[in-house]
Amino acid sequence: MLIVLPKWTSSPNPHRSGWVNTMGTLPLDAALASLPEGLRVKTKLVERNGASRVSFRRWRGPVVGSSVEVDNLRTLEGAGWIPFVVDEQGRSVLAMDRETLIMILADPDLLNTQGLKRIEGARTAVGLVNMARSANTPVVFDLTLHGFQRTRNPLRLMLEPPLLGMTLVLVALAVFGGFQAAVRFGPSQGTARVIALGKRGLAENTAALVRLARREHHMATPYAVIVRNDFFALFCAVLITMVRTVFLRAMT
């Protein structure tokens, strides 16, 4: 892992969106504040005043990239640091901690737009990155150490494990539901009337109201009286009809 230390303080450019104006360099202690405690206490930054054209080389090895012009070049020193790339004075620009194997680039102008604006700076940047990574491995930039964070996209999360399985199930259910709605299995079934027509329906609805009111035990005596009165009325009507028939026959 390679950590690039910050160097400049800046403010947004009011005339160009996405651009910034530099307002000077960060204090050396502030530049080290982003490091873990174990590395910060044993690391010291040294700043060279003014602009200078410097060449970088591997520690006791060949030159890395081309000579570049850097403002206020910063180097690091301290116990436990293994130099990987040094300037012409032998000071470490890129070094690796002996215990954690974390690499530190002391001056960010070798990788930022300040260094990449010229072809020689781009060559030096490529050489530094190749020094810091293993062969045939990708380069991934993590800006969260310097406070840049981005919330994860919920739609992207739905397409990544472990939520990918749930997304596939929901898609399958949606497809099946759409197919079932588009293709009917057999003729549609008609619905019956909620309230039936006729005397039977009226009687059933009345009985349902009685059950709903829980008045069944109060209905027995009045019902018996009604049946008895209807019986006597019918009996009397039949008896009168029979007497009348006998009387008419006797008269003829």
Per-residue pLDDT tens, the chain, 252 aa: give them: 888 898 888 888 888 888 888 888 889 998 898 888 888 889 999 998 888 777 777 766 677 767 788 888 899 999 889 888 888 888 888 888 988 888 899 998 888 887 788 888 888 888 888 877 777 888 888 777 666 666 677 888 888 888 889 999 999 999 988 888 777 666 666 676 666 677 777 888 888 888 888 877 788 888 888 889 999 999 999 999 998 888 888 887
Closest CA to 35 of 5, 73, 68, 75: 5
Cβ atoms of residues 129 and 139 within 8 Å:
yes
Find the angle CA(37)-CA(108)-CA(87) to the nearest 5 degrees. 95
Beta strands in 14-158 (DSSP E): 20-25, 44-47, 51-58, 63-71, 74-77, 81-86, 92-97, 103-105
DSSP 162: T
Structure token digits, residue 25? 């360099």
Separation of first and last alpha carbons in the chain: 134
In which residue are the tokens 């230390």 written? 5
Q: What is the pTM of this model?
A: 0.54
Give, in order, the Cα–Cα distances in Å from 49 to each of 23, 72, 91, 129: 16, 5, 15, 26
